[in-house]
A and B are shown apart, each in its own frame.
Chain A
Amino acid sequence: MWRAVSGARRLLRPLGAAAGGTPRAVPPPPRAPPGPRGGCAAAGAGAGAGALEAAAERHQAADTVLQKFNIDFVVALLRQENAKDICVIQPPPEIKYCDYFIIVSGSSTRHLHAMAQYMLKMYKHLKEESDPHTQIEGKETDDWMCIDFGNIVVHFMLPEAREVYELEKLWTLGPYDDQLTQMTPQSLPEDFIFGLTANSSDHLETRT
């Protein structure tokens, strides 16, 4: 699975050891390999190891609180909070959004609030002063909350909202997502005018 990088600091401990310890009743989360196709496990493992090594090297370069607040810690916290259907996705590095995208279900609104606030509290406890502040987004909603920790993004949703948005499908399937293909092809509005800029260096000059 994951290899120790450069011996001195092991940033990513193998998740297999942690997962093997606790048998999970929920279906195992799809560990999507970085790549546009969520392909077969064999190809996925090979590509995953290479990309994870690259990810670990990037972690080394970027310092942050995430020495302690890394993906294993977050998943352990979520399990401790009785979160259902933990889904950890690693988007391909071309999408420079985050390293890990976590989606979690809760049993009620109160449960989502409690999980989000506990996660935030642990982050604040572990972070240094130089690390950016984080807030819980969606406190007024009752079905979808999320926290952006920089390289990890956690979404807390109710199962109904999860069915509607299907974020797992979007982030693993990429351009082959079925909701995307079902979207009607976007057409430009009738009053759209192309080539009009106030920029004088643009060679498409407008003349009235």
Chain B
Amino acid sequence: MALLNRRLVLSLTHLSSAVLQRQFSTTGACRAIQKLTRVRVVDNSALGNTSYHRPPKCIHVYNKTGVGKVGDKILLAIKGEKKKALIVGHKMPGPTMTPRFDSNNVVLIEDNGNPIGTRIKTPIPYILRRKEGEFSKVLAIARNFV
């Protein structure tokens, strides 16, 4: 998105060399967010922004299927502790006319539903509003909508 303009220029010019140098093979997103997915915390909580030697990973999806889409609650392992989080965007293409993000974005919440951070800079999709669930608090601390 807007963050990636620099990266876009870099990758367009160095795309071929970057791809050939990579030693591993990667696939596009097949399933949105499931167990052991590395996610990106997008709010300004201390827990989400301090660096750690391991990226935050999903360890459980609170869903009948084990696949989490936008609006689902998941359990994250962050800095050696377990925290619940809400998915606000994923790399997998969703229904038509819904935004697709370039990273799996997640907002940390408490067990009772209050968000831990106080501001969210990345765009949040409007479809969260239509969904059944308690999303008004996350929408209240968001700045941009998509």
Contacts and interface: CB of A to CB of B under 8 A. Distances in A.
Contact of A175 (B11, B40, B143): B143
Nearest to B28: A198
A129 interface: no
Interface residues of A toward B: which range? 35 or more
A196 B114 contact: no
Contacts of B29: 197-198
Interface in A17-64: none
Interface of B: 3-4, 7-8, 11, 15, 19, 22, 25-30, 38, 40, 42, 44, 49, 55, 91, 93, 102-103, 112-114, 118-119, 121-122, 126, 129, 134-137, 139-141, 143, 145
A183 B119 contact: yes
Nearest to A95: B145
A108 B26 CA distance: 53
A179 to B, nearest CB: 5
B49 A137 contact: no
A63 B28 CA distance: 44
A199 interface: yes
28 contacts: A96-B126, A97-B129, A137-B134, A138-B137, A140-B113, A141-B114, A155-B140, A165-B118, A167-B141, A170-B141, A174-B143, A179-B44, A179-B118, A180-B119, A184-B49, A186-B121, A188-B103, A189-B40, A190-B55, A192-B102, A195-B11, A197-B91, A198-B93, A204-B11, A204-B15, A206-B19, A207-B19, A208-B19
